[in-house]
Structure 1
C-alpha cells in the first residue's frame, strides 16, 4: 500500500503546477493533504482525481484545510466536531455533512476544532486495518525573549504565536494518545501524517547550527516530538528507513537558492504504530514532478507491505 502526504500550499496553485499528473504517476492508494486552502464552493469538480475524498476545510477562508483521499470509501471519518465534504469520483456536490462521532475531545482541542487542522479516516478492509490521520500543525513563532524586530520578517507579537503553538502541542499530545489507543481497540494500526512544522533532529535541518533559535527547531518543540516517539508508541517511518541521511528534506523556502542547494527542512512526517512501521519498505520525497515543484513542500511517499 502506497501512502503519500503533501502540504499543497493551496490546491488550485498545486494543480497549476502539475498535481494531477503527479497523482496519476505516483498511483498512491492513500493521499493525505494539508493546507488545501480552498472553500468547498471553489473546489474544482475534479480536484481530487479518481479518489474518494474527505475534506475538512475549516472556517477560515483561504487558510488551512486537510483532506484524505482513498481508493475505496472509508468506513469511518472523524474530525474534532467539524463537518466534512465527502466526494466520490465523478461527483461534484458541495454540501458538508457531519463526520462520525469522535467521542469526548481531549482537553484543549476544542479551541482548534473550527480551523481545519485534523482529520482521520478508517480505511476499509480491502485496503487494510489502518486509521490514517492528516494533520496541519501551527507554524508558531518565537518566545518573547528571542524576538528581535530587526531580524524578523513578521512584526514582534510578544510571543503570542509561540504560546499558541505550545498550547496546541500540549492538547494534541493528549489527543494523539487517545487516537492511537482507540485505533488499537478497533483492531487497527494508526498512522499520523502531515506537516508538523517541527524538525526533530540535526539531520532534519540543513543549516541546523544557524537555526537553533528559530521556530520549528526550538529545543522545547523538538522535545515535544521526541516525547511522542518510541518503539512502543509511534515510529518515524522515514527516519527508520533512512537512519543516517541528512533529510530527506520536505520543505524549502521559495527565497534565494535554498531549493537549488537543498538547504531544506524535514517537517513533513509519517508516524506509525510499530507493526505498521515495520511494514514500511521504502520512503521517498518527491522534490519535483516533471521539473516543477508542486508546493514549497514536497510529497512524502511510503510503501507499506501489508
Structure 2
C-alpha cells in the first residue's frame, strides 16, 4: 500500500506550530507534496520534514510560494523549472541546493515563472510501480476586468491583470503537463500531479450555499473550469478523489479563515491527485484530514489517498 498526501501548508513555520510535525510523524504517509512552504532554507524549523527525504524548491520570491515532495524512499531523480532545489536525506542537515537536470524543456510561457517556486517533481523506484510525483502550486489569479466591482472586493482592482496572468499560466502549464506525463511514460513510469490548483472543477466542488456566487469568483470562473475539464480524461489524467467519491459534495479541502466557513463546511475542493489511469485504478481510499487533534494545520487540509500498488 502506498499512502500519498498533498497539503497547501500555508507557511511551514506557522503549520509546525499548529502540529504539522506531529501529523507527519503519525499519519504514515509514504509521499507528501507540500505547497506554499514559504520559508528560506536557513529558517526551516528543526525537523521540518521529519524522517522523510525532502526535495524543496523554495523559489526566489521572498515569503511566497515554495513547493516540496517528501518521500520515504530516496528519489531516483529530481526535476524542476530551471531552478536549484534542496535535496536532503533524513539524517542530513545541509542547506545547500543542487541544480535540477534539464530533461523536459519548458513549454512556451513558463520561463517567466521558473523562479517562483511553483513546481517540482521526483522519480521513485517503487517495486512494480515506478512513479513520477509532481507538486504544483498554481496561481490564485483574480477577476477579469468586467467582473471587478470595488465595493465587493477585498483587493484593489487591477483591471484584470491577475486574471490574465493566471490564464496565461494555465495555457502554458497544460502544455507542460502533457510533456511531463509523456516523458514519465517514456521512462516506464506512472505519473501523479499533486497540489493546490486554485480551481474548483464542478458544482460538487464548492459548497452548495455558495455555488451561484462562486460562478463569478476566481477559481470557479467558466474558463477556469473549462481548462480543468480539458486537463482530466479517462485516458490521460484521472481526478482520483472524485473517482473514489463520484456522487458527493466535496470532500472539500479549503475553507476561508473568515466567518464560520470551516464550522459550516462551506469549503472548496481545489487540492488534487491527478493520476495516470493505471495508478488511479489502484486507489482504495481518499480522505481529507480536516484537522489534527482538533487543530487546523492550514486554511487547507491534507488530501490523503491510499494506492494499492
The bucket for the TM-score relative to the shorter chain is over 0.9
CA distance in 2 between partners of 1:75 and 1:169 (Å): 29
Aligned residue runs from structure 1 range 32-71, under 5 A: 32-71=33-72
1:290 lines up with 2:293 in the alignment: yes
Contact 2:33 2:68 in 1 (8 A): yes
Provide the residue aligned with 1:111 in structure 2.
Answer: 112
For the aligned residue pairs, the C-alpha RMSD in angstroms reads 0.9
CA distance in 2 between partners of 1:258 and 1:125 (Å): 40
Provide the residue aligned with 2:86 in structure 1.
Answer: 85
> CA offset at residue 126 of structure 1?
4.2
Provide the residue aligned with 2:257 in structure 1.
Answer: 254
Cα deviations across residues 195-216 of structure 1 (Å, max 9, x unaligned)? 0000000000001112110000
CA distance in 2 between partners of 1:74 and 1:128 (Å): 14
> CA offset at residue 101 of structure 1?
2.1
> CA offset at residue 56 of structure 1?
0.1
Aligned residue runs from structure 1 range 101-250, under 5 A: 101-126=102-127, 128-206=129-207, 207-250=210-253
Provide the residue aligned with 1:3 in structure 2.
Answer: 4
Q: Which runs of 4+ in 1 moved over 4 A?
A: none
Give the number of aligned pairs. Answer: 306
CA distance in 2 between partners of 1:231 and 1:261 (Å): 33
SS of match in other structure, 1:224: helix
Contact 2:104 2:179 in 1 (8 A): no
- TM-score for the superposition, normalised by structure 1: 0.99
CA distance in 2 between partners of 1:112 and 1:213 (Å): 26
CA distance in 2 between partners of 1:246 and 1:103 (Å): 37
Cα deviations across residues 178-204 of structure 1 (Å, max 9, x unaligned)? 001001000001100000000000000
SS of match in other structure, 1:176: helix
> CA offset at residue 41 of structure 1?
1.2
SS of match in other structure, 1:209: helix
1:94 lines up with 2:95 in the alignment: yes
Cα deviations across residues 221-244 of structure 1 (Å, max 9, x unaligned)? 000000011100000000000001
CA distance in 1 between partners of 2:291 and 2:46 (Å): 25
